[in-house]
Structure 1
Amino acid sequence: MRVDPQRGFTLLETMVVLLIMGVAMGAASVSAFGDARMRTLRQDAQRLAGLFMTAQTEARAGGARIAWRPDERGFAFERLPRPLALPARVAARAAWARDDRFPADAPLRPREWLSDEPVSVGVRPGGVLVFDGDWVHGPLDVTLSAGGRTVRLSRSGDGHYEVQP
């Protein structure tokens, strides 16, 4: 009868496993409890992605064009009047072409940024962002900046939105 030697882990193997677990937990804690201001800016961008899809759906369903108007404190969606004699982007810039904002209980109601700091917004291609009944739109980049941090919200040609830090 042959006796197998006792099997187990060496002290070195145990230390290597503990080191790997420590590094993994450190990385997880940094991502979970990292830069709160950056996380807030990302939440703003993710919220915008959902609201942009809602605005596009509303524009298709209702037949009205919807403009998005941001400022450093927040943003609002506005319906543009249906009988437009001008192209939508030109009409969106004209003060007389504005319709009422969405009511306070609507999904597209005016909102403030989640960020404590003023948020600057860049839209590419430039101009007023208008949602209409078209099914295919070109790419879009919306850049949110606050306190030296920047987040980009991108729309691909197929209408998919992605938030990039």
Structure 2
Amino acid sequence: MPNRMPAEHALCRSRGFTLIELVVTVAVIALGVSLAAIALRDSAASALERDAARLAALLESARALSRATGVAVTWRPAAQGFVFEGVPPGGSPWPTQWLDAATAAQGNAALLLGPDPIIGPQAVALHRAGSPATLQVATDGLRPFAVSAPGGPADARQP
């Protein structure tokens, strides 16, 4: 009989999971879910927002360069991206491509960025192929270029 008691006791211990096993399993599942959430976070709308914010920053940089050098700088959409005309040669090259290949500017309107400190109100609408979402990068001529929904105020998306 003394041998029977430890065998029953061992049988009872092997029927369940330990607390450490459960904690490790939950941690692995939580890590997998968080990695999947990060990977799925980059949607079409956020890609368009990134391109619009980048364009607003590039337009402001070109506007400041135009005022500093006294040379008129123009931005215009191109077949595969966009072009800055009037930028002095030398230095680092200006980007000519969108971050997302599906982003495009609507229409062919060019934006005059200077050299005058006050420019007229200007805007360009950006859209992404296959998506109804549209964003506008605009200025009233005094304030910096900002991203907004079409028809909304130019500074609606600024913090």
Q: 1:63 aligns with which of 65, 70, 93?
A: 70
Identity over aligned pairs, percent: 30
More strand by share: 1
In the other structure, the counterpart of 1:41 is 48
- Confirm or deny: 8 A CA contact 1:71 1:119 kept in the other structure: no
Gaps of 5+ in 2: 1-36, 150-159
Where does residue 118 of structure 2 map in the other structure? 136
One-letter code of the match for 1:133?
P
User: What TM-score do the two structures reach when normalised by structure 1?
Assistant: 0.56
Number of equivalences: 111
For structure 1, the 5+ residue unaligned runs are 1-28, 80-99
Distance 1:161 1:102, change over 3 A: same
83, 97, 119: which one aligns with 1:76:
83
Q: Which has the higher contact order (CA 8 A, sep 6+)?
A: 1
Q: In the alignment, which residue of structure 1 is the partner of 2:17?
A: none
**Residue 150 and residue 104 in structure 1: after superposition, are their counterparts in 2 closer, same or farther (change >3 A)?**
farther
- The superposition leaves residues 113-162 of structure 1 with CA deviations (integer Å, 9 ceiling, x where unpaired) of 11232513347xxx421222211122222100112221111212322222
Partner of 1:105: 92
Larger Rg computed on CA atoms: 2
Letter of the 2:119 partner, please give it: H
- Give the drift of 1:72: 4.2
Give TM-score, length-normalised by structure 2: 0.58
Whole-angstrom CA distance in 2 between matches of 1:119 and 1:103: 27
